[in-house]
Structure 1
Amino acid sequence: MTPEVFVAAHTTVARASLVPEIALHLATEITPIWQATEDWLREKNIEPPFWAFAWPGGQATARLLLDEPQRVAGKRVLDFAAGCGIAAIAAAKAGAARVEAAEIDPLALAAVRLNAALNGVAVETPEGDIVGADCRWDIILAGDVCYEAPMTAHILPWLRAMAARCEVWVADPGRAYLPGQGLEPMAKHAVPTSLELEDRTLREVTIYRMSP
């Protein structure tokens, strides 16, 4: 079974409440998709299926891009730790010249490819860990990336370095490891959530511009 076949078989085409313009392959319940992923990749080092959900940071970023397409029109955009790719798809719809979606999980990359095709847009999906790469973008989008200490420690120095060469946006709904400084608020969105995924039914997401 290919990653694309697995994603299609274990998801339903749906739309996130804040971004109804974008169709996505999403899980309808947490437990089945988690179990299916573990069973299929039991002996491989694969992340949990974060790609099967439209997380608050991605939704808020996508909403901002669709409402204000001039922010990315004609620019080169990276959706970092893209998950389902909702922000990347929004950037492409908003007229970005080139859009890449970075993920270390091959299932996430498959989900992004399927979701981009579903919405009729072009999104490139480079393989492997992009942290440490030279800057080839005008804007880097990073939604919900500060949810655990090791992840934040791995990515933050690189994102800070990138912020000296391009715009870096961090969309955060109050995760524990968000840096306490070097972030300038740009916009806010209240994002409806599920108690299966979050500890509340509404998350306020702030989109920040990162300082180098």
Structure 2
Amino acid sequence: MLHVENPSVNIPNVLQAALHNVIPNSTLMVQQLPKTPIKLWLIPPVFPTERLDDEVIRQIWENTPYWIFCWASGLAMAQWLLEHPEQVQGKTVLDFGSGSGVVAIAAKLAGAKRVICCDIDPISLAACHANAQLNAVELEYLDDLYRAEPVDVLLAADVLYDQCNRFFLDDFLKITQNVWVADSRVRHFDHPNYVKMMEKQATTWPDLDEAKEFNLVSFYRSLP
């Protein structure tokens, strides 16, 4: 069951303003994610869809604030990291396309020495910072992958949904040879330096009632 806390307590102003730019009548709530100790500022499980006119719907599709959801792949990767802390324990980790910061927070809770949130969206980085405070962890923030120093592990959840993003698979390997990719939109991709390792069930939170095929997250790892 999704646990929702008091929605009116200390909502970060920058996040609330960014949300109102897209969905004027909505607010943010602290929600605890299933099978994790992680809490995030997210859109409510039920928001006033009857007030969404055509312009608002267009804004949502064209300017999706990805950080207002914990996407299935991010949740699955966060759960996996907490189940297998040895993957990041004592290491420097970069979370690419951080969104809400759920993967970065999980890596830090799992014992990573340093965790860097990397996202080109400044509001996503603000969400990562707010969510890090919620979970009492310290993260670092970077807005350009190509300014990243070498790290021990690179994590990427839900970044391959667009075919145009596939070039990142090569660029990741310039930063580390230890890359984990989780994606619910891509069942298989043909890349000589990556192999599919497993699948894990997860749901986007709040639940978007997506097709069940998007609740199965595939994990890929770079080859040594």
Give unpaired runs (5+ residues) of structure 2.
1-11, 20-25
C-alpha deviation, 1:136, in angstroms: 2.4
- Out of 207, 212, 216, the residue aligned to residue 200 of structure 1 is 212
- Out of 159, 162, 174, the residue aligned to residue 172 of structure 2 is 159
* 1:144 maps onto 2:143 in alignment: no
Q: Deviations over 1:134-164 (max 9, x none)?
A: 54210000001111123334x23312433xx
Per the alignment, residue 179 of structure 1 pairs with 189
Q: Deviations over 1:141-196 (max 9, x none)?
A: 0001111123334x23312433xx331100111338x6323322334311134773
Per the alignment, residue 211 of structure 1 pairs with 223
Give unpaired runs (5+ residues) of structure 1.
none
Separation in 1, partners of 2:90, 2:119: 23
Separation in 2, partners of 1:151, 1:67: 28
Secondary structure of 2:140 counterpart: coil
Per the alignment, residue 69 of structure 1 pairs with 85
Per the alignment, residue 123 of structure 2 pairs with 107
* 1:169 maps onto 2:180 in alignment: yes
Distance 1:123 1:32, change over 3 A: farther
C-alpha deviation, 1:78, in angstroms: 0.6
**Bigger Rg, structure 1 or 2:** 2
- Out of 72, 79, 85, the residue aligned to residue 56 of structure 1 is 72
- Out of 61, 85, 91, the residue aligned to residue 101 of structure 2 is 85
How many residues of Structure 1 are paired with residues of Structure 2 in the alignment? 197
C-alpha deviation, 1:5, in angstroms: 4.9
User: Mean Cα displacement is larger for which, 21-30 or 65-74?
Assistant: 21-30
Separation in 1, partners of 2:63, 2:150: 26
- TM-score, normalised via structure 2 length: 0.75
Per the alignment, residue 7 of structure 2 pairs with none
Secondary structure of 2:136 counterpart: coil
